[in-house]
């Protein structure tokens, strides 16, 4: 059970222990606080008592578990967990935001580290004619951590500015937030970007950063799971199908809420290269369309 939870939440063995402790202590605090309040209210134990008690527990539990998590260093995990839970229950709506450039045209930044095949398709989608509704977005910036990467040439060919980033500023500085804001970036798309996104950038662009993973999450995700290594692992696992997962980016590798999954078969004679070709076809066909749909909702 613990291994499945580790895989689901993308946490290590020690962190899963702290998380379970937080759940247990938070639950105990919730029950204790709810009973104390019920005693003060002097309500007879009947159907009304049960209803009020359930309501109190529902209200107190998120507060209790997040508060307890502060003492165990798990605030980031539990604040995100509670927020996702409340969204699924319909208690909290996904927060929209106003497009920074007065709603005329949303600006997208593509973060990429390699050849840029996905970036190319995204740029073509927003620059050219396609069957989707008239686009209200454009690729305004390509961000890259490798000076010699092929995606830089693609950006130059399409007259798109390039921002080369370095680790020190990205992870220990301002996360290049000022540079992104100076370009009025509204939405961030990861397209083969190999660095983990720092918390400061995730908070600045909450639910405005998405990624595409070349496998079906939550399996075959996590640190180091990219490129042909993912496909080799899927084949070694004797999976009958693979595919793509488009998801929001949060504080953990390949962990954010899933937006779309599209599947394809894994054939008996597949190699990493042959499976990769089918995965790339799914990426190129679906990623630009999902990006446009999400960008169209900005500020709504």
Alpha helices in the chain (DSSP H): 2-9, 13-41, 47-71, 75-88, 117-127, 150-157, 167-172, 177-182, 199-204, 228-236, 272-296
Cis peptide before 218 (omega within 30 of 0): yes
Query: Are 186 and 136 within 8 A, CB to CB?
Result: no
Q: Of these residues, 213, 231, 280, 284, which one is catalytic?
A: 213
For Cα atoms 170, 174, 177, give the angle at the middle one, nearest 5 degrees: 95
How would you write 242-289 as a 3-class SS string? EEEEEEECCCCCCCCCEEEEEEEECCCCCCHHHHHHHHHHHHHHHHHH
Q: Read off the tokens for 126.
A: 């927003």
- 213 catalytic, yes or no? yes
Query: Are 1 and 13 within 8 A, CB to CB?
Result: no
- 187-190 and 106-112 beta bridge pairing: parallel
What strand order describes the sheet that includes 258-265?
162-164, 137-144, 106-112, 187-190, 209-213, 241-248, 258-265
- 106-112 and 137-144 beta bridge pairing: parallel
Phi-psi region of 175 (alpha: psi -120 to 50; beta: other; left: phi over 0): left
Query: Are 252 and 10 within 8 A, CB to CB?
Result: yes
Catalytic residue IDs = 213
């Amino acid at each position: 059970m613990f291994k499945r939870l580790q895989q689901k939440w993308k946490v290590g063995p020690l962190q899963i222990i702290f998380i379970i402790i937080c759940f247990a202590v938070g639950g105990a605090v919730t029950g204790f606080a709810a009973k104390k309040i019920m005693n003060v209210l002097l309500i007879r134990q009947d159907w009304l008592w049960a209803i009020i008690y359930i309501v109190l527990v529902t209200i107190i539990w998120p507060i209790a578990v997040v508060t307890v998590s502060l003492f165990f260093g798990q605030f980031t995990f539990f604040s995100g967990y509670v927020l996702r839970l409340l969204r699924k229950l319909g208690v909290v709506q996904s927060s929209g935001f106003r497009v920074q450039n007065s709603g005329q045209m949303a600006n997208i930044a593509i973060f990429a580290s390699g050849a840029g095949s996905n970036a190319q398709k995204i740029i073509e989608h927003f620059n050219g004619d396609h069957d989707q509704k008239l686009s209200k977005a454009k690729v305004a910036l390509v961000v890259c951590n490798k000076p010699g990467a092929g995606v830089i040439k693609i950006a130059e060919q399409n007259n798109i500015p390039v921002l080369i980033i370095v680790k020190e500023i990205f992870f220990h500085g301002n996360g290049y937030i000022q540079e992104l804001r100076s370009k009025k970036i509204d939405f961030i798309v990861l397209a083969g970007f190999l660095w983990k996104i720092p918390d400061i950038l995730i908070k600045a662009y909450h639910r405005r950063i998405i990624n595409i993973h070349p496998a079906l999450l939550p399996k075959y995700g996590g640190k180091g799971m990219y490129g042909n290594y993912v496909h080799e692992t899927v084949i070694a696992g004797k999976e009958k199908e693979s595919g793509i997962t488009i998801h929001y980016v949060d504080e953990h590798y390949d962990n954010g809420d899933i937006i779309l999954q599209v599947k394809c078969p894994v054939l008996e004679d597949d190699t990493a290269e042959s499976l990769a070709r089918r995965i790339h076809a799914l990426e190129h066909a679906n990623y630009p369309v999902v990006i446009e749909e999400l960008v169209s909702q900005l500020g709504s």
